[in-house]
Structure 1
Amino acid sequence: MQTIQIVFLTVLVFFLLVSIHEFGHFYFARRAGILVREFAIGFGPKLFSIKRGETRFTLRLLPVGGFVRMAGEEPEVVEVQPGQTVGVRLKDGKITKLYLDRLDERSNIIRGEVKSLDLEKEMFVSLDVDGDEQRYGLHPQAMIVSRGQETQVAPLERQFGGVSTGKRAMTIFAGPMMNFVLAFVLFGVYLQLSGVPVENSTKVFVSGLEAGMAAEKSGLQKGDWIKKVNGVPVEGDSTRLVEQIQASAGKPMNWVIERDGKEVSLTVTPDAETGKVGIYLSPEMRRAGIGETIRFAGTTMVDMTGRIFEGFRKLIFGEFKLDDLGGPVRTAEMTGQIAKQGIPQLTSWAAVLSLYLGIFNLLPIPALDGSRLMFIGLEAIRGKPVDPNREGLIHFIGFAMIMLLMIVVTYNDILRLVKN
């Protein structure tokens, strides 16, 4: 049961981090009026799909990220050309369905040859119906039906490139921003769960146990208050307690602990070689106040941000080996190990991962949000967008390189697991 719980918590952490990031893109795209075609968690083949409103929400096979597919970011899959025979269904004089195939099976449609059309600006389709040219307006939410799939048309003002550079920049930045917000909240939650040490505390508690070690075998439990060791009161001095344990390597020790208001006497024998009993200690804790929580979350984010950039610096200057890098497998492994330590530790780890994800996505690497923000900024300075084909090619190359690196580090992770 514990293994199932740890796997569930590990998957939950990844799902939360990716979902909150993509929700940032999704929410601000909707606020900007951009048509969001798909909100996806994962890449590769679809495992689950459901459509709500204009957006299809999908869960995909490879849990290595996610994406929000917005109209106009890439060429539309469905194209309609002059000379093509189509069928249209009208409502209040406007086209609501545009059928490209299986026309003989459609009922209540007008069939004709496309003479001219504009599906983005003027929003119309002109058809030759039995030698008579008819012009029909296109409903802004009309569907193009082809091969059993429906694709909603996207007027120019509802495409990603059709809104202002400011709205586009906010839509892209919102993903990392939501990771920063989540990290701040999770650091605060961690402090609320773990508490802060009581000043001048006279108590030392068991905060955790290592499986199979002497402390666990003796019957010690998480939350026990350690009152005496070999007749000597501990009185909140955890340093002296550790020294006592190390000095008694291989020798039985008498511990008096308090559990549920009752004193219990236990015999604990430290390991003869290491002088350890496999125990984590903590002082008496109290609940943190709101001000303390906000300050802790803020200072911890600043501190961890510095450590993350220091890691980037070492990576750039070759102070890391390839074997030091970890991919999804190693991250999942570490998350599982931390989940065993308890919810507070997992919460803190999730906050670190969320902060890292936000910072990493803002790096000016092609295919990441940072690179896309650079192109938007360049457009704002130049007054005209970069050639979409060139930008698309750069992002594609960047994505391919990231996927290649992901394969290499994942292969390394699997080799390491096999060797261990």
Structure 2
Amino acid sequence: MLTAILTIILFCIMIIPHELGHFVVAKLVGVQVNEFSMGMGPLLFQKQKGETLYSVRLLPIGGYCAMEGENEESGNPRAFNNKKVWQKIAVLLAGAVMNVITALLVMIIAVTVSGIPTNTLDSVVKNSPAEAAGLQAGDRVVAVNDVKTSGWIEVVQEIDRDKSGKEIRITVDRDGKKQNCTVQPEYSKKEKRMMVGIACR
């Protein structure tokens, strides 16, 4: 059920802006848009505004921008088929451009909401190798085995680099002073990587 809901949301996020891109650019270059619909299937609501019929349909799995002369020849000078080549290309490309913009906005929002993990420790798991080695919340991991780290991904990669279980040296910045801690990583079957019991902010 959750998968179906997420699929519908994905369709709405990608298809509606895609069609909106076609719609906006079509209007800008003077193409007559007969109907702009959000959703597919049975009609729920519609309103005529100027030459365009705006509609909302039952199934939120898409939408469409119906332009004059898009699928057939039309004598209307404002029909899609009678526009200049560059105008046609602009209308067609607008959908893809909107998809890219939408994807970027979604990623920016996701990162803003969830944040980007840093290399500063938020917590140290109790009775973990990290706690035994003396690591503390607030420590900033600046290097693992002398390899400089500036973010959480780099910290994880360096800890997981050697799966033999050998001790590793984690260098942290604590209150402006660098300290070295020797840690014995443990392999996590659940995470499928070497872990020491730390979480970053």
Name the TM-score, length of structure 2 as normaliser: 0.57
**Is 2:91 the counterpart of 1:193?**
no
Residues 117-165 of structure 1: per-residue CA shift (max 9 Å, x gap): xx95xxxxxxxxxxxxxxxxxxxxxxxxxxxxxxxxxxx2211112111
The residue aligned with 1:235 is 136
Rounded Cα–Cα distance in structure 2 between residues aligned with 1:17 and 1:53? 27
Percent sequence identity over matched residues?
Answer: 30
Rounded Cα–Cα distance in structure 1 between residues aligned with 2:8 and 2:41? 18
Rounded Cα–Cα distance in structure 2 between residues aligned with 1:40 and 1:157? 23
**How far is the alpha carbon of 1:42 from its aligned partner?**
3.3
* 4+ runs deviating over 6 angstroms: 236-239
The residue aligned with 2:92 is 172
SS of 2:126's partner is strand
Contact 1:227/1:234 (8 A) holds in 2: no
Higher relative contact order (CA 8 A, sep 6+): 2
The residue aligned with 1:202 is 121
Contact 1:36/1:54 (8 A) holds in 2: yes
**Is 2:48 the counterpart of 1:51?**
yes
**How far is the alpha carbon of 1:276 from its aligned partner?**
5.5
**Structure 2 segments unaligned to the other structure (5+ residues):** 142-154, 157-187, 192-196
Rounded Cα–Cα distance in structure 2 between residues aligned with 1:166 and 1:275? 56
1:80-91 mapped onto 2 (5 Å cutoff)? none
The residue aligned with 1:162 is 82
**Is 2:200 the counterpart of 1:284?**
yes
Rounded Cα–Cα distance in structure 2 between residues aligned with 1:64 and 1:25? 17
SS of 1:180's partner is helix
Higher helix share: 1
Higher strand share: 2
Rounded Cα–Cα distance in structure 2 between residues aligned with 1:171 and 1:188? 26
Residues 266-311 of structure 1: per-residue CA shift (max 9 Å, x gap): xxxxxxxx9759xxx98433xxxxxxxxxxxxxxxxxxxxxxxxxx
Contact 2:118/2:200 (8 A) holds in 1: yes
For these two proteins, the number of residue pairs brought into alignment is 147
Residues 54-100 of structure 1: per-residue CA shift (max 9 Å, x gap): 22122334444321101122459xxxxxxxxxxxxxxxxxxxxxxxx
Query: How large is the RMSD of aligned CA atoms in angstroms?
Result: 3.8
Bigger radius of gyration among the two: 1
SS of 1:158's partner is coil
Rounded Cα–Cα distance in structure 2 between residues aligned with 1:12 and 1:64? 8
The residue aligned with 1:105 is none
Rounded Cα–Cα distance in structure 2 between residues aligned with 1:67 and 1:73? 12
1:267-346 mapped onto 2 (5 Å cutoff)? 283-285=199-201
Aligned CA distance change for structure 1 residues 74 and 197 (closer, same or farther; 3 Å): closer
Contact 2:12/2:61 (8 A) holds in 1: no
Rounded Cα–Cα distance in structure 2 between residues aligned with 1:196 and 1:23? 31
Rounded Cα–Cα distance in structure 2 between residues aligned with 1:21 and 1:197? 32
Rounded Cα–Cα distance in structure 2 between residues aligned with 1:282 and 1:29? 53
Aligned CA distance change for structure 1 residues 276 and 72 (closer, same or farther; 3 Å): closer
**Structure 1 segments unaligned to the other structure (5+ residues):** 77-118, 121-155, 205-225, 240-273, 286-420
Name the TM-score, length of structure 1 as normaliser: 0.30
Rounded Cα–Cα distance in structure 2 between residues aligned with 1:57 and 1:17? 19
Aligned CA distance change for structure 1 residues 196 and 283 (closer, same or farther; 3 Å): farther
